[in-house]
Amino acid sequence: MLKDRIATFSARPDEVDLCVLLYSGGLDTSCMLKWLQENYNTDVITVTLNVGQAKEFKEIENKAKKLGVKKHYTIDAREEFVQEYVFKAIKANALYQDAYPISSSLSRPLIAKWGVEIAKKEGAEAIAHGCTGKGNDQVRFSITINTLAPDMKIIAPVVEWGMTREDEIAYAQEHDIPIPVTVNSPYSIDDNLWGRSIECGVLEHPEVEPPYDAYLWTTPPEKAPDDPAYVEIDFEEGIPVSVDGVKMNGVDLILKIHELGCAHGVGRIDHMEDRIVGLKSREVYECPAATILLKAHKDLEKFVCTRHENTFKKFVDEQWTSLVYTGLWVEPLREDLEAFIDKVNKKVTGMVRVKLYKGNATVVGRSSEYALYDENLATYDRKSTFNQLASFGFIELWGLQSRMAQALKPEDKKVHSKNVKVKST
């Protein structure tokens, strides 16, 4: 029965013997490791996914072991993240609310997928995560887990325990949990190859400019080099494959573009975001590689597609991005949309030249064998092959219905008949 195959929800599982913890190594999930052992009396297996975040994975493993895990997994999922998530986002020109390259959103279904895989392999009955009850990540993790493993219990200690930052520090001290050096940072950070999200502290005041220390990756645009840099990116079927003529695998290519973007202060984002749970929140990001690659891809796509394709694809892209942002990676519509997106991207092959200068990435050149641009048609030179005389007939017919509708406007008719009435009395 379908009923048995879909997850039912309960706020808090009662008994758990073995639990997988999605472990970042930070203060929250480290407290959680002990807290799960104490409060659920469960064994814990930690899973840390490398999606390109700036972390020492060996240190994370050692910390987990010191805190008494049964087993720890570090999984290098960078290439999978790029191939299966980031490249799809590029093809879909994914910018949530025209601003955010959904860097954190993209990683969540992948982390959840690995959590489920390991939980199943190890025979764990529950997966615990470090999300709060106010954010998007809990939705993304839970929906993916509930879909892939309907019987899996989900534990959200942060939602349950109600500890403040100070409480957590005290808890850590009591339990001999190493406190990360970043504990005094006012910010909450999530990063991967596709971007870095910065929340909390003074950033919660939307009227205040993000201070310099909120950004870690990118040079302040005003301090970026006075000379611009140019980068040429080759795309094949919508996917970036080489930088300045050098073929690279996905991870290396993104790291290369990331480096160039950081040096020139590209990819700082500050916008008001509509979260899934209804909150409006001020979100700050630095996404240098995403900013450059998304701009380059969109430019090339526009170059090779018809006007009709360009108009329609915008809508499809927005739907795709919205599904992923709102935690519905598992929604079949995502794949349905990808069938269209992939088809369009078959011809998104060519080169894009991007100029990087003091915080800006500007497309300054492009070429493609599929370009719907013909210099002979577009030129104002004598050699033009465009039949200008055809434009008279075209204009007459193109405006036909609009002209007719204007001549027959109901509002004008009313005014007209009123006037007639006035005249007749």
Which of 78, 105, 107, 137 is catalytic? The answer is 137
Interaction between residue 104 and ligand ARG (CB under 6 A): yes
Query: In this structure, are residues 158 and 137 in contact, taking their beta carbons and an 8 Å threshold?
Result: no
Query: Where do the H-state alpha helices sit in 40-136?
Result: 57-66, 78-81, 87-91, 103-122
- Round to whole Å and give the CA distance between 29 and 60: 11
| Residue placing its CB nearer to ligand ARG in the complex, 104 or 345 | 104
Residues 363-422 that bind ligand ARG (CB under 6 A): none
Annotated catalytic residue within 24, 78, 107, 108: 108
136 touches ligand ARG (CB under 6 A): yes
The pattern of x and - marking residues 230 through 269 that bind ligand ARG according to CB under 6 A reads ----------------------------------------
- Would residue 188 show up in a list of annotated catalytic residues for this protein? yes
| Smallest separation, CB 374 to ligand ARG (Å) | 42
Does the annotation mark 185 as catalytic? no
Q: Is 28 in the site for ligand ARG (CB under 6 A)?
A: no
Question: How far apart, in whole angstroms, are the C-alpha atoms of residue 367 and residue 353?
Answer: 9
Of 283, 286, 309, 317, the residue at the interface with ligand ARG (CB under 6 A) is: 283
**Minimal CA–CA distance to 47: which of 13, 79, 71, 28?**
71
Q: Which two tokens stand for residue 132?
A: 């709060």
Distance from the Cα of residue 87 to its chain's centroid = 11
Angle of helix 103-122 relative to helix 307-325, nearest 10 degrees, comes to 50
28 is catalytic: yes
Q: Amino acid identity, residue 386?
A: F
* Closest by CA position to 277, among listed 157, 156, 137, 160: 137
Least distance between ligand ARG and beta carbon 105 (Å): 4
C-beta of 281 vs 367, nearer to ligand ARG: 281
Is 309 near ligand ARG (CB under 6 A)?
A: no
- Token pair for 252: 């290396």
Give whichever of 48 and 136 is closer to ligand ARG, judged by the CB atom. Answer: 136
What b/e string do you get for 332-345 counting C-beta neighbours within 10 Å, with b at 16 or more? eebeebbebbeebb
Neighbours of 100 (CB within 10 A): 22
The single residue among 39, 97, 188, 367 that binds ligand ARG, judged by CB under 6 A, is 188
Q: How far is the CB of 342 from ligand ARG (least distance, A)?
A: 24
Q: Could you tell me how far CA 234 lies from the centroid of its own chain?
A: 22
Which position among 29, 147, 197, 368 is part of the footprint of ligand ARG (CB under 6 A)? Answer: 197
Among 61, 168, 190, 286, binds ligand ARG (CB under 6 A): 190
Nearer to ligand ARG, 273 or 317 (CB): 273
Among 28, 61, 137, 301, binds ligand ARG (CB under 6 A): 137
Report the amino acid identity of residue 63: K
Report the C-alpha gap between 157 and 128 in whole angstroms: 7
Among 168, 199, 309, 317, binds ligand ARG (CB under 6 A): 199
37 close to 68: Cβ distance less than 8 angstroms: yes
Is residue 138 a contact point for ligand ARG (CB under 6 A)? Answer: no
Helix (H, G, I), strand (E, B) or coil at 219: coil
Active site residues per annotation: 28, 108, 137, 188
Q: Where do contacts with ligand ARG occur on this chain (CB under 6 A)?
A: 104-105, 136-137, 188, 190, 197, 199, 273, 283
